[in-house]
Amino acid sequence: MKTKYIIAFFLFFNSGYRCSLAQKKDPELDIKIKALISKMTLEEKIGMLHANDLFSSAGVERLGIPPLVSDDGPLGVREEVKVGWLPAGLTTDSATFFPNGSAIAATWNPEMAYQYGVALGEEARARKKNVILAPAFNIARTPLCGRTYEYYSEDPFLNSRLAVRAVKGIQSKNVAACVKHYALNNQEYDRFKVNVEADERTLREIYLPAFKAAVQEGDAWAVMSAYNKFRGVFCSENKYLLKDILKDQWGFKGVVISDWGGTHSTVTAAKNGLDIEMGTESPYEQYYFAAPLFKAVKNNEVSTALIDEKVYRILWLMHHTSMSDNHSAGQINTPEHALTTYNIAKESIVLLKNNKKLLPLLNAGTKKIAVIGDNAIRTFHNGGFGAGVKAKYEVNALQGLYNRLGKNASLRFAQGYNALYKSTDSEEQRITANIPDESLISKAVDEAKNADVAIVFIGGNREVESEGKDRKDIQLPFGQEALVAAVSAANPNTIIVVVGGAPYVLTKMDNANHTILWSWYNGSEGGNALADVILGKVNPSGRLPFTFPVKLEDSPAHALGTYPGSEFSTEYKEGILVGYRWYDTKHIAPLYPFGFGLSYSTFLYSDASTDKQLYPADGKIMVSIKLKNGGTQAGNEVVQLYASKSESKVDRPEKELKGFTKVWLEPGEMKTLRIPLNVADLAYFDAKMMRWKVEEGTYKLMIGSSSRDIKLSREITVSR
């Protein structure tokens, strides 16, 4: 047996694995890791490859290898839990609640994603986690997906830019980002079983770019495989996704961790790229990657070299985290982290409509404010199924207004509606919870009548949008439309604030009301940031990271009837036409387009130019425009660059986002902005040749403030 082991070890050092680690820059580390592995028994190695607790896999104490400790997640470091996900009841596990994924995306500011990562990494470090199970950035394919709020966007480019910076931020604190859920986990419905069929071009152009960028540009140290199947094979044992694409083509050096309970085999998963099996239920010794894996090695079904490769990856990750020389103690609940959440929140809030210029609500003349709706007093750090945070504090909207206005105004609160639905409730209970409560509405109307201004806080909450369950529709819940109608009839100065992490149908409300502000599950400082936008201290600069349809049936997966699929399989028939690519190409008017958001200022676009007219396929384009703040308030504008190709050999979307920049302008100030674009990024994925291909010919570059508000355009030519 010993001889066998030595041979296997020799093979490992001389295997193709060595080549796949070609990016490794540290030969000393390589020697260290290999020396450690050479001292380990097979039992010790196997111990590192499966959960031995809800959020850890074993280390090897005698060799100074610590356990690998992970935790959720995107909203902040979750509280400690016991078996059954029950809170451990500690007094030492509170943390900062960070704005949700779509809020971060709505900032359209990669620097915000970076700051988020830095703060989250520091908190994970303080709570002694080596791996934080974040960020999560599956594409928002359907507005119904229960985890849309955790994810970023419907657009792969925006997704990629944010994912890279979030990963960089987290890992700058010597904590591994575990990017998830790889891949095509775009619905919660049947998530443990559903098979996704998507063609190669769709896979490469829409669903993989952010993962690729997180790995290749962000240098992510861990990836979580998704629950679902892709092309008939579970993602946790999907050779094509894990081995061929992630590890071989992209050169991923880190660790593939299964989603919790998402492993379905021993030999297949081990051979096809999974490194660690995590899960919820004990006994952990019986996990696929525990005793059965040990047996498989003994039976020569899995080589020791393969086991060593997995252990190598884990030790490599550990040398960047818990075993690194320079890791700090971390910090938690600091004023700096609070400031980060405030900054993200203030940049994420989207002004959807301001026809009567009711916003900003300047103090003069506004003495009595009716604050209406459960979402004014609700917090969002916890709720529903899935990762939340035991927030040290969370400022709700009413508190935020009170903090900012103090005695300068009288705030009168009315509940408006009852948010009685829980994510575990039945469909019948959900329907009942949506019936308007006439008595609460009438109390709200009374308050509105006696006020100078009414602000109605409606939308979703963490029970309505939850992991493990898609929404049934995207209507506003809890009879909120009736509440809004009654309050706006009682007081013409009614401002609607909708809180949510995913699109809702706001069509009726948009037709009937003049002032609509959109906010998110916006972290510990959410209420303060919201109050600052309402009161004009902050000029809104959030832009929608996904399209708001007029009705659900307009959105691609629903228009084509491919959601949620049948017999546990769903075909992504819309192909690359996801989100605005669909609406724009099919000429379906959305209610609010991708990239949309108003400001208290107006921005004037002029003088679009490119540095050249003719570019080679490996060239770099520099697009310039002039932007002027034509308003009286300083603020940020998000300038978006889209591209299209007419007369293409393949079907192309009407336009695709290729660049953006967020820029601050004082009133009257004008700046020249430059947005770079690689010609290579104009390529499509040629599925026959299995490579990215830049077509020669004419491209239109469009500069605008949303996918539907193109202000300027230029044509360029690409030659061979």
Q: How far is the CB of 72 from ligand BGC (least distance, A)?
A: 5
Pick 225 or 494: Cβ nearer ligand BGC: 225
Q: Please state, in angstroms and rounded to a whole number, the distance separating the CA atoms of residues 498 and 476.
A: 9
Q: Which two tokens stand for residue 137?
A: 């950035």
Q: Which two tokens stand for residue 592?
A: 């609010």
Q: Please state, in angstroms and rounded to a whole number, the distance separating the CA atoms of residues 547 and 595.
A: 8
Pick 227 or 342: Cβ nearer ligand BGC: 227
Under 8 Å between Cβ of 544 and 594: yes
Q: How far is the CB of 250 from ligand BGC (least distance, A)?
A: 21
Q: Name the residue number minimizing CB distance to ligand BGC.
A: 133
Q: Looking at 562-634, which runs of residues are DSSP E strands?
A: 569-571, 603-610, 614-616, 620-629
Q: Please state, in angstroms and rounded to a whole number, the distance separating the CA atoms of residues 304 and 156.
A: 38
Among 259, 374, 394, 574, binds ligand BGC (CB under 6 A): 259
Q: Please state, in angstroms and rounded to a whole number, the distance separating the CA atoms of residues 597 and 706.
A: 8
Q: How far is the CB of 94 from ligand BGC (least distance, A)?
A: 18
Residues near 333 by beta carbon (within 8 Å), at least 6 away in sequence = 94, 95, 96, 123, 392
Name the nearest CA neighbour of 238 among 207, 280, 281, 216.
207
Pick 71 or 637: Cβ nearer ligand BGC: 71
Residue at token pair 């109390």? 443
Pick 222 or 338: Cβ nearer ligand BGC: 222
Pick 181 or 310: Cβ nearer ligand BGC: 181
Query: What is the amino acid identity at position 556?
Result: P
Q: Please state, in angstroms and rounded to a whole number, the distance separating the CA atoms of residues 720 and 718.
A: 7
Among 182, 207, 260, 342, binds ligand BGC (CB under 6 A): 260
Residues classed as catalytic: 259
Q: How far is the CB of 150 from ligand BGC (least distance, A)?
A: 8
Under 8 Å between Cβ of 632 and 667: yes
Q: Please state, in angstroms and rounded to a whole number, the distance separating the CA atoms of residues 475 and 144.
A: 10
Among 69, 131, 133, 158, binds ligand BGC (CB under 6 A): 133
Q: Please state, in angstroms and rounded to a whole number, the distance separating the CA atoms of residues 475 and 509.
A: 11
Under 8 Å between Cβ of 234 and 191: no
Pick 180 or 319: Cβ nearer ligand BGC: 180
Instruction: Give the x/- contact pattern for ligand BGC in 665-704, rule: CB under 6 A.
Output: ----------------------------------------
Q: How far is the CB of 650 from ligand BGC (least distance, A)?
A: 35
Q: Which two tokens stand for residue 178?
A: 């575990």
Q: How far is the CB of 336 from ligand BGC (least distance, A)?
A: 26
Pick 277 or 374: Cβ nearer ligand BGC: 277
Number of neighbours of residue 227 by Cβ within 10 angstroms: 21
Footprint (CB under 6 A) of ligand BGC, residues 70-89: 72-73
Strand partners of residue 223: 179, 256
Strand partners of residue 672: 626
Under 8 Å between Cβ of 590 and 584: no
Number of neighbours of residue 442 by Cβ within 10 angstroms: 12
Residues near 35 by beta carbon (within 8 Å), at least 6 away in sequence = none
Pick 104 or 387: Cβ nearer ligand BGC: 387
Footprint (CB under 6 A) of ligand BGC, residues 388-447: none
Q: How far is the CB of 328 from ligand BGC (least distance, A)?
A: 24
Q: Kindly determine how many residues on this chain lie close enough to bind ligand BGC according to the rule CB under 6 A.
A: 7
Q: How far is the CB of 430 from ligand BGC (least distance, A)?
A: 22
Q: Is 574 in the site for ligand BGC (CB under 6 A)?
A: no
Pick 502 or 531: Cβ nearer ligand BGC: 502
Q: How far is the CB of 350 from ligand BGC (least distance, A)?
A: 26
Pick 259 or 308: Cβ nearer ligand BGC: 259
Dihedral angle, C-alpha 374, 377, 380, 383, nearest 10 °? -60
Written as one string, the DSSP assignment of 291-314 is: HHHHHHHHTTSS-HHHHHHHHHHH
Q: How far is the CB of 262 from ligand BGC (least distance, A)?
A: 8
H-state helical runs in 560-705: 580-586
> What's the full length of the chain, in residues?
720
Q: Please state, in angstroms and rounded to a whole number, the distance separating the CA atoms of residues 235 and 310.
A: 17
Instruction: Give the x/- contact pattern for ligand BGC in 164-203, rule: CB under 6 A.
Output: ----------------x-----------------------
What is the binding site for ligand BGC (CB under 6 A)? 72-73, 133, 180, 259-260, 387
